[in-house]
Amino acid sequence: NLCNFKCRMCGDMLSSSWEAEQRKHDMIDWSNPKNNWMKPEIKKQITAFQDSQIEQEFAKAVEEHRIEEVYWVGGEPLMYEQHWQYMKRIIDLGDGDKVYARYNTNLSRVKYRGICLYNDILDRLRDWQICASLDGTGKVGEYIRTGLDYESWLENFNGANQKRSSRRQLRIDFTLTTPGLFEVQAIQELAEKYEVDILAKVIFSFSPDIIMSPLALPRDMLQRHIQSLGTNTQVMQDVLDQCLNRPNFQEMFTAEYEQGLIKGKARIKHLEHIREDTFTFSDCLQGEIKEWYDAIPYQNNFK
């Protein structure tokens, strides 16, 4: 789960930064079995399994020239020392011209100890693909994905764009959130500028307190906003249609809906407090959706 970001729709199982924050602020419910993996004795076993079995199997395959395709995903794979070590080894062994590498990355790091992802790795592979995560531009994007430096992301994305030889090699991976409802046009314009495709999905949400999900919005409000958006890509239209065609939280969790909103706002405000945010969830919103969020009662009792 090694990752340098704390994206607000993510969590400790996929981000070591989230995990560290949870530990520091005593936010872990140790009575919940789903958190057993964070217990020291179990985490030690997981680490030993990764080091002694998983990584050793991969290292052996590299040395035996058996790698044909590798998918780097995280966490944040470009934070893994192993990524740089083994991809460089594949190339040094002369196997780069037979390897296809795929990445899902926040694109915050493209250089490590003198190795450049583009010049020293991708240029020397048979083929590659990067799905670069971005859920909003500017301050909104930086709020959603805590750790994002938007200007740095643009620089790194442009570097990849200059290296690609086909459209499918570089894509923007967009997760639709409530703040992201106001970024749909900006993401589409960015994709048009770089002539790349968008991969789009709705944030996962399984309870009515996930206000980061557009499904938390009242049905009529969500419908009005989505219908006001202009889309020029089928994939973006499809993800917006999903929001309209799926039950929203009020329909799925009728009895718990109002309390879910209160709990969800308390969580959002708690994270904003401990992360010392100067740009907030409310600042990401506009119009009646901002009024709706601001009107949710705030109870400063998040546990």
Task: Output the pLDDT for position 33.
Answer: 87
Task: Output the pLDDT for position 80.
Answer: 93
Rounded to an integer, what distance in angstroms lies between the CA atom of residue 12 and that of residue 37?
A: 10
Find, among 244, 226, 177, 239, the residue nearest to 205 by Cα: 177
Pairing of strands 197-202, 170-176: parallel
Rounded to an integer, what distance in angstroms lies between the CA atom of residue 299 and that of residue 286?
A: 23
Task: Output the pLDDT for position 302.
Answer: 65
Task: Output the pLDDT for position 51.
Answer: 83
Q: Phi and psi of 196, rounded to 5°?
A: -125, 165
Task: Output the pLDDT for position 157.
Answer: 97
The H helix count followed by the E strand count for the chain is: 13, 9
Ranges of residues in the chain whose predicted pLDDT is under 50 = none
Please give the model's pTM, rounded to 2 decimal places: 0.92
Tokens representing residue 258 in the block: 């109002």
